[in-house]
Homo-oligomer: A and B are copies of this chain.
Amino acid sequence: MPTIDDVAKAAGVSASTVSYVLSGKRSISAPTRRRVEQAISTLGYRPHAGARALASSRTNVIGLMAPLRSGVDVSVIMQFVTGVVTRARDVDHDVLLLTQDDTGGIERVAAGSMVDAIVVMDVEADDTRLPVLRTLRQPTVLIGLPHEPAGLSCVDLDWEAAGRLAARRLADDGHRDVALIGSPPEVLDRRTSYAERVVRGFRGAAAEDGLTPVVVPCEPTPDGARRALDAALGEGPRGDGPGARSDRPTGLVVHNERALPHVLAGLAERGLDVPGDVGVIAICPGDVAVSQRLPLTSIDIPGELIGGVAVDMVMARLEGGQPAESRLIAPELTQRASTTPRVA
Residues on B with beta carbons closer than 8 Å to the beta carbon of A108: 46
Segment among A50-58, A157-165, A275-283 that sits at the interface with chain B: A50-58
* CB-CB contacts below 8 Å: A188-203 with B: none
Of chain B, the residue at the smallest CB distance from A77 is B78
B61-A54 in contact (CB<8A): no
Partner of A49, one of B46, B64, B99, B113: B113
B74-A112 in contact (CB<8A): no
A50-B53 in contact (CB<8A): yes
Alpha-carbon gap, A193 to B21, bound state (A) = 43
Of chain B, the residue at the smallest CB distance from A258 is B291
Q: Does A47 contact B (CB under 8 A)?
A: yes
Copies in the complex: 2
Residues on B with beta carbons closer than 8 Å to the beta carbon of A82: 68, 99
Alpha-carbon gap, A44 to B75, bound state (A) = 38
B1-A111 in contact (CB<8A): yes
Alpha-carbon gap, A114 to B59, bound state (A) = 10
Question: A247-283, CB under 8 A of B: which get 1 and which 0?
Answer: 0000000000010011001000000000000000000
Partner of A48, one of B81, B113, B220, B261: B113
Segment among A90-98, A147-155, A238-246, A326-334 that sits at the interface with chain B: A90-98
Of chain B, the residue at the smallest CB distance from A220 is B291
- Shortest Cβ distance from A104 into chain B, in angstroms? 10
Residues on B with beta carbons closer than 8 Å to the beta carbon of A299: none
Of chain B, the residue at the smallest CB distance from A52 is B50
Residues on B with beta carbons closer than 8 Å to the beta carbon of A54: 48, 50-51, 54
Q: Does A85 contact B (CB under 8 A)?
A: yes
Q: Does A109 contact B (CB under 8 A)?
A: yes
Alpha-carbon gap, A86 to B67, bound state (A) = 11
Of chain B, the residue at the smallest CB distance from A97 is B97
Q: Does A128 contact B (CB under 8 A)?
A: no
Alpha-carbon gap, A20 to B221, bound state (A) = 52
A99-B85 in contact (CB<8A): yes
Q: Does A103 contact B (CB under 8 A)?
A: no
A-B contact pairs, 30 of them (CB 8 A): A1-B111, A1-B113, A44-B111, A47-B112, A48-B53, A48-B112, A49-B59, A49-B109, A49-B112, A49-B113, A49-B114, A50-B50, A50-B51, A50-B52, A50-B53, A51-B54, A53-B53, A68-B78, A74-B74, A85-B97, A89-B100, A94-B96, A94-B97, A94-B98, A94-B114, A97-B97, A222-B292, A222-B293, A258-B291, A265-B265
Chain A interface residues (CB < 8 Å from chain B): 1, 44, 46-54, 59, 61, 64, 68, 74-75, 77-78, 81-82, 85-86, 89, 94-100, 105, 108-109, 111-114, 137, 220-222, 258, 261-262, 265, 291-293
**Which 5 A-B pairs have CB atoms at the shortest separation, nearest pair first?**
A50-B53, A46-B111, A50-B54, A50-B50, A97-B97
Known: A48-B53, A85-B97. 11 other contacts (CB 8 A): A46-B111, A49-B113, A50-B50, A50-B59, A53-B53, A68-B82, A74-B75, A74-B78, A75-B75, A89-B105, A94-B114
